[in-house]
């Protein structure tokens, strides 16, 4: 069987359960039923192994987002659905939750870098979607980079920060808030 895949699976498993720092290469080898040296025939070091897994994760997220975006729908509908998708994705993926925790609480270097990469990937994706919408004249011209950044940060705040002190918002509420703030605006008529 594919030893490389065994290793990747084992590492994903362990990172998801214990986080990056608390995962040892001995443990990965043991879970994968593989000698430790074997890992190093496929990956330069622990960080490279982690990198492979994070890259996969980002690809998956992109696919999840893409599957929910349809060009014939309006942008605000697409954003709404994509947000749903992202929320579902996070819920299903213990790995992202664990890593976000570790990044926030311990600040492990490699993990903070991971979070930055994920953030950059998501913002860049939103940016592209926005750019297309602007080109098609679907929304007002605006700086797509700042707008994507603002959407992402607000999204993260509503998910993580709001829950710290107040009753969590459900998906419908979050979706509705985005519609209201970013698309309709608070002004009357």
- Applying CB under 8 A, the residues found at the interface with a copy of itself are 75-76, 137-140, 142, 145-147, 149-150, 153-154, 157-158, 161-162, 166, 169, 177, 180-188
Contact call for residues 174 and 168 (beta carbons, < 8 A): no
State the nearest-atom distance from the C-beta of 116 to a copy of itself, in Å: 8
For DNA, which stretch binds (CB under 7 A), given 27-35, 57-65, 66-74, 86-94?
27-35
Report the distance separating Cα 126 and Cα 50, nearest Å.
25
Residue 107 interacts with DNA (CB under 7 A): yes or no = no
Report residue 26 as tokens: 């001995």
Residue 34 interacts with DNA (CB under 7 A): yes or no = yes
Q: What, of a copy of itself, DNA, none, does residue 40 touch, CB below 5 to 8 Å by kind?
A: DNA
Contact call for residues 56 and 118 (beta carbons, < 8 A): no
State the nearest-atom distance from the C-beta of 96 to DNA, in Å: 21
Contact call for residues 96 and 54 (beta carbons, < 8 A): no
The DSSP call for residue 20 is: T
State the nearest-atom distance from the C-beta of 145 to a copy of itself, in Å: 8
Report the distance separating Cα 144 and Cα 141, nearest Å.
8
With CB under 7 A as the contact rule, the residue among 5, 41, 67, 170 that binds DNA is: 41
Residues 6+ apart with CB under 8 A from 17: 94, 98
With CB under 7 A as the contact rule, the residue among 13, 47, 113, 119 that binds DNA is: 47
State the nearest-atom distance from the C-beta of 62 to DNA, in Å: 27
Residue 117 interacts with DNA (CB under 7 A): yes or no = no
Report the distance separating Cα 116 and Cα 28, nearest Å.
25
């Amino acid at each position: 069987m594919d030893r490389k895949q065994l290793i990747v699976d084992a590492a994903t498993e362990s990172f998801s359960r214990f986080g990056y720092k608390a995962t040892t290469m001995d443990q990965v080898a043991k879970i994968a039923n593989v000698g430790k040296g074997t890992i190093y025939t496929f990956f330069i070091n622990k960080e490279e192994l982690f990198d492979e897994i994070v890259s996969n994760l980002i690809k998956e997220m992109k696919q999840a987002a893409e599957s929910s975006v349809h060009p014939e729908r309006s942008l605000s509908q697409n954003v709404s659905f994509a947000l749903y998708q992202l929320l579902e994705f996070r819920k299903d993926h213990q790995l992202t939750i664990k890593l976000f925790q570790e990044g926030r609480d311990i600040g492990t270097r490699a993990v903070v870098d991971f979070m930055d990469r994920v953030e950059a990937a998501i913002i860049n994706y939103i940016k592209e979607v926005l750019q297309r919408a602007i080109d098609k004249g679907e929304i007002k011209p605006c700086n797509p980079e700042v707008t994507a950044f603002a959407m992402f940060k607000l999204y993260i705040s509503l998910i993580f920060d709001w829950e710290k002190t107040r009753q969590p918002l459900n998906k419908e509420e979050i979706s509705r808030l985005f519609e209201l703030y970013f698309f309709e605006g608070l002004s009357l008529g």
